[in-house]
Structure 1
Amino acid sequence: MNKSLFLSAFKTTAPVLFGYIPMGMAFGILFNELGFHWLYATLMSTVIYAGAGQFMAVGLLANHAGFMEVAITTLLLNSRHLFYGISLINKFKSHWLRKFYLIFGLTDETYSLLTGTIAPEDKEQTDFYLLITALNHSYWVIGSTLGAILGANMSFNTTGLGFTLPALFTVLAIEQYKSVRESWPFVMASVVAFLSIWVFSRDNMLLMSILLSIIALLFLRLKQKPTEASQQESV
């Protein structure tokens, strides 16, 4: 693994760095309010590493939720990763230890980078993916640790930090568009998102928007097959 590959991965993950540090700090501050030692915030971000899930866990722990409630809620919240994994089967063909970490470290932001970025060299593709995943993971752990330590020693007003994650997704969407150079996926995603907000509750909006997107993509794929077949026959 050379220095240029690391610098390329760091440059690719820079938008996530500026999103994960403040968001991780917000989590650390909120987690500290539960009365736990700051090391538990670091441990949770290292071992669990699920941004939205960790924020949800703060509320569940504060309300003394039971094990089954935590397990079911977390499963529903992170069910979208099932669809992420299916689309990355062909990319994750490395040694099983590397594959395990790539699967473990697959967040929304990491998924966006892995699907929208091409490795500098094909032979270093796995190393590039590992660096992106590890760097994003480290940003979250650092942010969580800083927030927990500062929260244990100071008082903070976290108003406005909640907008950091939507802003990060906006930047990643722009980067995806620069990579794909096609507008229809983003138009379709916008339509599906607004439809999901209008028809379904906010609690189910994310999962339903993913399902609607898959249905729309399958429909477009089935529609393209007859066209491709007719083109091959004409040739």
Structure 2
Amino acid sequence: MTKQRKALAAAFPLTIPVMAGYLFLGIAFGILMQQKGYHAGWSALMSLIVYAGSMQFVAVGLLSSGFHLVQTVLMTLLVNARHLFYGIAMLDKYAGMGKKKPYLVFSLTDETFSLLCSAKVPEGVDKGWFYLFTSLLDQIYWIAGSFLGGVLGSSFSFDTKGIDFAMTALFVVIFTDQWRMPGSHPPALVGLLASVICLLLFGAQNFLLPAMGLILLSLILLRRRLRKGGEAQC
């Protein structure tokens, strides 16, 4: 077995929870695009070259209301600002990835970040290919769901209100799986505590960015202690 096939075989089981969420949410996105007059090919193309999850749902409204460059840029920065923190956290893991690195950076979604932070590369599996296939499989699920949703949306329509809760449910599953791993509790508790504090201080509409900043600062300050205890997960 080649190292690529070995890495693919190791990465696929890890991505199954994401597959369930991405197919479902991708279908919802494809249906919304179809309802706005964009066929399945446009949905799949956006998922291929944009691949921004929640921002793609926002983009459906932007496309239907007319394109405004400044508004679109600012909205994209606000919605995806959390990826700045993800990127900083992955600097060590992505070091030395060579030609794989540009795609790994492009494909770093919320769920892929969670998987790569909590996953341990199996013994004998090439780390670079393992990371690449984990990221690639997640994007393939999203593209497939988007295309399927566009096809289904051309046949029937239904009320999609509340369907995006599947993303929240997916995060709960990933968090629970990470919590069950030995030594993963301190970073998780930091994240929960920082989020609750910022939620109380800034409210539900404005707490995300302050919470991400507080989490990042806390993990930087506690990084040495977590490493000494063998508890750093990302």
Aligned residues with identical type, % of pairs? 38
Moved more, 199-208 or 107-116: 199-208
How far off its partner does 1:160 sit?
Answer: 4.2
Aligned to 2:80: 78
Superposition pairs for residues 93-112 of structure 1, below 5 Å?
Answer: 93-112=95-114
The letter of the residue matching 1:28 is G
Distance (whole Å) between structure 1 residues aligned to residue 223 and residue 125 of structure 2 = 30
Q: Which consecutive aligned stretches of 4+ in structure 1 deviate over 4 angstroms post-superposition?
A: none
Is 1:14 paired with 2:41? no
Q: Is the Cα–Cα contact under 8 Å of residues 7 and 130 in structure 2 kept in the other structure?
A: yes
Task: Give the equivalent residue in structure 1 for 2:121.
Answer: 119
Shift of 1:196: 1.9
TM-superposed deviation, 1:33: 1.5
8 A Cα contact 1:117 1:179, kept in partner: no
Match of 2:232 in 1: none
Paired AA for residue 185 in structure 2: S
> What pairs up with 1:148-163 in 2 under 5 angstroms?
148-163=150-165
Indicate conservation of the 8 Å contact 2:26/2:144, yes or no. Answer: yes
CA–CA distance in structure 1, aligned partners of residues 223 and 122 of structure 2:
30
- Judge which range, 125-134 or 3-12, deviates more: 3-12
Given the alignment, which residue of 210, 213, 225 partners 1:211? 213
Task: Write the deviation string for residues 8-48 of structure 1: whole angstroms up to 9, x where unpaired.
Answer: 21100000000000001111111112112221111000000
Cα distance change of structure 1 residues 188 and 93 upon mapping to structure 2, 3 Å threshold: closer
**Unaligned runs of at least 5 residues, structure 2:** 229-234
Aligned-partner Cα distance in 2 for 1:45–1:182: 32
CA 122–89 in structure 1, closer or farther in 2 if over 3 Å, else same: farther
With the length of structure 2 as denominator, give the TM-score of the two structures: 0.88
Q: 1:59 to 1:202 in 2, by over 3 A?
A: farther
Whether the 8 Å CA contact 1:116–1:180 is kept in 2: the answer is no
Hey, what does 1:147 align to over in structure 2? 149
For residues 1-235 of structure 1, the aligned pairs below 5 Å read: 1-121=3-123, 124-221=126-223
Name the amino acid aligned to 1:120.
P
TM-score, with normalisation over the residues of structure 1?
A: 0.87
Provide the rounded CA distance (Å) in 2 between the counterparts of 1:70 and 1:12: 34
Query: Distance between the aligned counterparts of 1:48 and 1:203, measured in 2?
Result: 25
Q: Distance in 1 between matches of 2:222 and 2:91?
A: 21
SS in 2 for 1:131: helix
Alignment RMSD (CA, Å): 2.1
Inter-partner Cα distance in structure 1 for 2:4 and 2:62: 43
Higher alpha-carbon Rg: 1
**1:155–1:71 CA distance, 2 compared to 1 (3 A):** same
